[in-house]
Structure 1
Amino acid sequence: MTELATERTVDPHLKVRYLQRLLAANDVTQALQVAVDQIVDVLGSDVSWTGLIDDGYLVMGAHRGLVSTEMASAWRLKVGEGIGGRVAAEGRPHVSRDYLHDRRRVPLMKRLIDNEGILATLTVPLLIADTTIGVLYAAQRNVYDWKEWEEHAATDIAHDLAVRLRQLDVEGRTAAHAARAEDERDRMRRFAADCVRLATSFSQQSDAGAALDLLALELGARVELRLPDGTLVRAAGEYGEGNPFTAWRATLTEPEGVVLSVIATRRPDEASQTMIELATALFRLQLARSTERERTLQRVGGELFDQLFSGRVADAAEFRQRLALMGVVLPPEAYVVVVGDRTGAPLADVRLAQVSGALQQAFEACVPSHRHGRVVAVVGHRSRSATDLRRTLTDLVTRVPALRGAAAGVGRQCAEVADFSMSFDEARAAFEIVTSNPAADPVTSAFELGILGVASLPPSHLRTTVRDLLGPIISSDETRGTDYVLTLRAYLQNDRHLGPTSAELHVHYNTVRNRIARIEDLLGVDTRNVDDRFRLHTALRMHELLSATGPAQGHPDPR
């Protein structure tokens, strides 16, 4: 308390009691009431009240001596306006001897104060450092000349009140902060423990997305994993109430370009941000482990599938056991299917995964593998024929987004392990024939193309057979520009009818008749003879296969 050398000093006992009561106040309202009581007791004022700044306005916090309830509820003064508003803005005390004639009054406040009969006011600021948090009033119901000691006393009361208000605010914020911090620590401990359990139990479960599920549950938000093209791979959680927005986003390096997003209706706090980063790190760790595991399986599986599709399986029973140890069971009565881009270009890794997933969803039994930018799948279904399988694949190619723009070839049905190499050769050859002909159906089978058993022959054997049977007309087409091979194929496919053949080739039927006569002469065959027609059909299939899978000379091994 500042010592006063004026007409009167404050009773020290009142000062001590005031400080004791302030310290005993448990909240702001109690402290404000203690202060206005002290003003009345020390200064002998008729009225006292406080105003605290709230969003730019002074709002009454406590009062003593008011007659009406209207002033207590309606008193509200903008900072900078009126006497109290100027004290709050300037941080300096103000005295008014005759409030009734003070030109600084605000109309609404003037009416309220006039109704109370107040004629003199002493107003001091509540200061914390240089910041005004409110004002404290002393008032008389008569014209009054305020003494210097009264101004000093009111200033001291206001100072002690401001100190206590700051303590209460800090104590309240500290207690609330401590409680929140402890809650966040408990929350983080639980979340970290769950993450550790996920990390240590990964050998028993292979779901790398479990960390994302845990994160979505803890945040009460939605977590999404999308491919670079925007395709949704995994989603967990719900948006919650409100307007959802992307609260956090990260692009992963493996798989490259995959985007992880947290979609919420509020910004994540510090603890939530830490959880997001922890869960993302765990997801990356699990994904890295899963990727390494998959690479190991693919490497080992790739070696086994190479043996299967190349026909280098010495012991079928032992081979099936090795596959079974990897969790792969060859379905009974299966077909080999080759799926790739319609243009023949290799598929990217992401697209390979999408195509494999679509096939696995479509068929009851499907074992996919990736070879040279294409999906080679062993598909099993007891009730399906090659034709049924082709229809199903055609439906998938036109309906499923992951398979749009794709083509597929189907090989023979496999009863034994040794059949898979032939079925693969046939499926691959059928796929190559489809991709080499833009007008062909996107899906076809070796059976429909008539190349069953032909596709598995060595290219050198195929070239020799084709040259032995069709050599003269191939040479004529190459050197003289004739269309003998095309004419012979159309003629045999139309069952030797001149009309449909000429319509297909867009030439006169006499032209077809003359060409066929010339072909028979060059090849030394009679197309009316069944055996000759069979040999010609076979040679034409071989020629088509060679044309689709590689150049006529130096054709590489299709395997």
Structure 2
Amino acid sequence: MTDPQTQDTGLMAVLELLADQAPAGRFDALLQRARREGLSGEALAGLERAVHLARGVQAWQGQRRQREDGLADLVDTARDLTSPHDVESLLEVAIRRVKRLLNFDMTSIAVLDQEGSLRVAVSNGSTTALVTGHSVPAGFGLGHRSLLSRAPLWTADYLEDDTVEHDPSADAVVRAEGLHALMAVPMCNGDQTIGVLYGGNRSVRHFSPDEIGLVASLAALAAVAVERAGSYEQAQGEVGRLERDGFRTRTSLVRLQQLNEAHSHTLGLVLAGADLTTVAKAAGDALDSALQLRDPAGRPLATSGDLGEPDEAAVAEAALDAHAHLRPVVTADGTWVAPVTAGAEDLGVLVLRPGTALVGEDEGLLQLTAQTFAIQLLLRRSTAVAEGPVRDDLFDELLAAHARSGHQTHYLVQRARGLGIDLEAPHVLLVAHPEGGEQGRAVVWASSYAHRMTGLKTVHSGHIVLLLPGTDASAAARAVADQLSPLLGHPVSVGAAGPGRGAADIGRMHREAMRCLDALTALDGTGGTASAKDLGFLGLLLSDDHDVDGYISSAIGPVLDYDRDRLTDLIGTLESYFASGGSQANAADLLNVHPNTVSRRLDRVTDLLGDAWQRPDRTLEVQLALRLHRSREVLRRQRRAGTAAPHAEASSAGRSVS
């Protein structure tokens, strides 16, 4: 029979070990000592029962402590996940926590891409570079199954588990990492699916429900945190975008205010009566650009800054496009061309070379500037029309100035000076005759053109007469024809004369210009332009002053200069060449030189006069100039001889007296 006191002592020893949280080996040692001391029967069975219960209590306490530690770690993890992080940093925090809490060898998170595959975004504990970035196609592996079931799935030995749909590429990664046990937990937040949290061990392992629940809780926390971080990043991006839009809007408003002020200033200058150059300077400063206003023929009217050397062919093409689309056009080298129009009328173009690239607001100011110039040109035209009768009357009186007294002529000069016209400066006179159409439109244009060029205009015997400052009558005539013909839609014939100075020359130039216009008609040159210089020897006959020297100089002047500078006689060679009927061999006989010498001299003449000197019309002019030159030289020698003879007789008489 067992001693009750001995049995109680054994039970007390078990309780003491349990209270001291003794390891399992101490309980085994207690049982062995009791057997050695002869404890048997009911006492030994009771002691063994007590030890078994104590071990159960210890296991329960261990599980409780583990659960408490897990909850504490879960709280710490939640605190970490709620701290400010970007999405990638949050994913890394989550896999580090899961790896430490569950004692995994490797953890990773895969996110869903647009194709439905799971792509590994981050990993921890991997030993190869194959994990991060690897994609598992839809329908394969534990991850996709866990997403479909929205529940954690695990396997103790992944590669040996036939219940899993294996993907060869994924199996290769698992094999390279040496993984066996694998757990996949979906990361979901409501209906939103983020991805899958993976945990793996490099040995066979069976996971307990507590471990699976803990990983599921961590995955849910991570899903919430990742979605929150994604929303935060999206919000930050939206805030940044709104800030940039706000900055651009504020900048645009400031620029619009500046451009509005610049346009108001430019328009104010126009209304105040400023000239084109002043307005161009203000517009160029506002646009930080060099610009040039050109008329429809491409001639500059006003310039601000240095345009450099733009590609004129590209500018001309851009001008056509600008007028066709009624908006500014930019060329390949960055030059802008804006149309200057009034309704359907082409008033010219504005050519601009910006210092910096033009933005939308600047392009708008460019259009407004072009419109401002159009207004200014129309105002000038209106002013010209308003002043037209006064200026026309003055011009009519100047045309008849040869019949007036000197006092009256002086009065006319003073009146012209009051209108800003200096008659003592060189002027040319043009007589234009539109070949068809209404004359009224041409007269209006001529009034504006004369006002713009600081000249005068009138209508005389059905012709438009222009007095313009300048020295090149031919160029002035071509300019008028080039601008007026497209405006009227039919040819314009222009006769020209000048330059001349003073009121007395105006009548002479008018008569000469009329004769040139009549010559154009007689020579079937309708729609052309001509001055006495352009008409060659015919112009010499039509000119009032019969400028022989000027005619000779225009026809053979370069040859005369060459002979004078180099003491040669190309003029003599030309005379012999024409005297022999254009035969170089006969000319050589006349000159007593070799034919090759004549050939070289004529080549030199070609270099000096150009290839066209042997055309029939030019040949006639050259021969006439040679005759005039030879006659002039003979007359000069005769005058010198006549002057020398009286001196010789006086000298002889003196010697006789002595």
TMscore range, shorter length: 0.5 to 0.7
Q: 1:61 aligns with which of 102, 121, 130?
A: 121
Retained in 2: the 8 A contact 1:320–1:329?
Answer: yes
Residue 83, structure 1, aligned to residue 141, structure 2: yes
Specify the alignment match of 2:223 in structure 1.
Answer: 159
Specify the alignment match of 1:335 in structure 2.
Answer: 428
Q: 1:177 aligns with which of 241, 262, 269?
A: 241
Shift of 1:77: 0.9
Give unpaired runs (5+ residues) of structure 2: 1-65, 270-277, 291-313, 399-410, 545-658
Specify the alignment match of 1:194 in structure 2.
Answer: 258
| CA deviation string 1:500-559 (max 9, x = no partner) | xxxxxxxxxxxxxxxxxxxxxxxxxxxxxxxxxxxxxxxxxxxxxxxxxxxxxxxxxxxx
Retained in 2: the 8 A contact 1:122–1:139?
Answer: yes
Larger radius of gyration: 2
Residue 301, structure 1, aligned to residue 362, structure 2: no
Q: 2:110 aligns with which of 14, 30, 51?
A: 51
Q: 2:198 aligns with which of 137, 144, 150?
A: 137
* C-alpha separation in 2, matches of 1:377 and 1:84: 98
Residue 22, structure 1, aligned to residue 103, structure 2: no
Shift of 1:85: 7.4
| CA deviation string 1:250-274 (max 9, x = no partner) | 9998555999999xxxxx9xxx9xx
Which of the pair is proportionally richer in helix?
2
Identity of aligned residues (%): 15
Retained in 2: the 8 A contact 1:49–1:60?
Answer: yes
* C-alpha separation in 2, matches of 1:81 and 1:149: 25
Shift of 1:153: 1.4
* C-alpha separation in 2, matches of 1:209 and 1:71: 65
Alignment of 1:439-458 (within 5 A): 440=526, 442-445=528-531
Specify the alignment match of 1:227 in structure 2.
Answer: 322
* C-alpha separation in 1, matches of 2:75 and 2:503: 101
Shift of 1:135: 3.6
Retained in 2: the 8 A contact 1:126–1:135?
Answer: yes
What amino acid is the match of 1:444?
A: A
* C-alpha separation in 2, matches of 1:344 and 1:107: 90
Specify the alignment match of 1:290 in structure 2.
Answer: 373
Retained in 2: the 8 A contact 1:28–1:165?
Answer: yes
What TM-score do you get using the length of structure 2 for normalisation?
A: 0.46
Alignment of 1:241-280 (within 5 A): 256=344, 276=360, 278-280=361-363
Shift of 1:125: 4.7
* C-alpha separation in 1, matches of 2:251 and 2:143: 46
What amino acid is the match of 1:65?
A: G
Shift of 1:206: 1.8
| CA deviation string 1:3-48 (max 9, x = no partner) | xxxx968844334322332343443332111111232244443321
Check 1:332–1:14 CA distance in 2 against 1; reply closer, same or farther (3 A cut): same
* C-alpha separation in 1, matches of 2:324 and 2:522: 28
Retained in 1: the 8 A contact 2:262–2:283?
Answer: no
Retained in 2: the 8 A contact 1:195–1:211?
Answer: no
Partner-residue secondary structure (3-state), 2:184: strand
Shift of 1:111: 0.8
Partner-residue secondary structure (3-state), 2:237: helix
Shift of 1:156: 1.1
* C-alpha separation in 1, matches of 2:333 and 2:253: 24
Check 1:179–1:61 CA distance in 2 against 1; reply closer, same or farther (3 A cut): farther
What amino acid is the match of 1:442?
A: G
What amino acid is the match of 1:114?
A: R
* C-alpha separation in 1, matches of 2:84 and 2:369: 55
* C-alpha separation in 2, matches of 1:192 and 1:334: 47
Check 1:188–1:132 CA distance in 2 against 1; reply closer, same or farther (3 A cut): farther
| CA deviation string 1:51-97 (max 9, x = no partner) | 3456656543322222x132245x32166363377479869456242
Retained in 1: the 8 A contact 2:327–2:338?
Answer: no
Retained in 2: the 8 A contact 1:120–1:144?
Answer: yes
Specify the alignment match of 1:410 in structure 2.
Answer: 495
Residue 95, structure 1, aligned to residue 153, structure 2: yes
Retained in 2: the 8 A contact 1:338–1:431?
Answer: yes
Give unpaired runs (5+ residues) of structure 1: 1-6, 217-221, 241-245, 263-267, 454-559
Shift of 1:337: 3.7
Specify the alignment match of 2:95 in structure 1.
Answer: 36
* C-alpha separation in 2, matches of 1:78 and 1:91: 17
Partner-residue secondary structure (3-state), 2:165: coil
Specify the alignment match of 1:543 in structure 2.
Answer: none
What TM-score do you get using the length of structure 1 for normalisation?
A: 0.53
What amino acid is the match of 1:412?
A: A
Partner-residue secondary structure (3-state), 2:198: strand
* C-alpha separation in 2, matches of 1:105 and 1:256: 77
What amino acid is the match of 1:409?
A: V
Specify the alignment match of 2:174 in structure 1.
Answer: 113
Check 1:312–1:379 CA distance in 2 against 1; reply closer, same or farther (3 A cut): closer
* C-alpha separation in 2, matches of 1:283 and 1:339: 36
Q: 1:206 aligns with which of 276, 279, 291?
A: 279
| CA deviation string 1:334-375 (max 9, x = no partner) | 1134679877688999xx89x98xx99xxxx95589999x99
Check 1:442–1:250 CA distance in 2 against 1; reply closer, same or farther (3 A cut): closer
* C-alpha separation in 1, matches of 2:188 and 2:439: 76
Q: Which moved more, 1:151-160 or 1:332-341?
A: 332-341
Alignment of 1:507-546 (within 5 A): none
Retained in 1: the 8 A contact 2:432–2:494?
Answer: yes
* C-alpha separation in 2, matches of 1:255 and 1:95: 79
Retained in 1: the 8 A contact 2:432–2:492?
Answer: yes
* C-alpha separation in 2, matches of 1:253 and 1:423: 35
Retained in 2: the 8 A contact 1:335–1:378?
Answer: yes
RMSD: 5.9
* C-alpha separation in 2, matches of 1:431 and 1:211: 46
Check 1:9–1:234 CA distance in 2 against 1; reply closer, same or farther (3 A cut): same
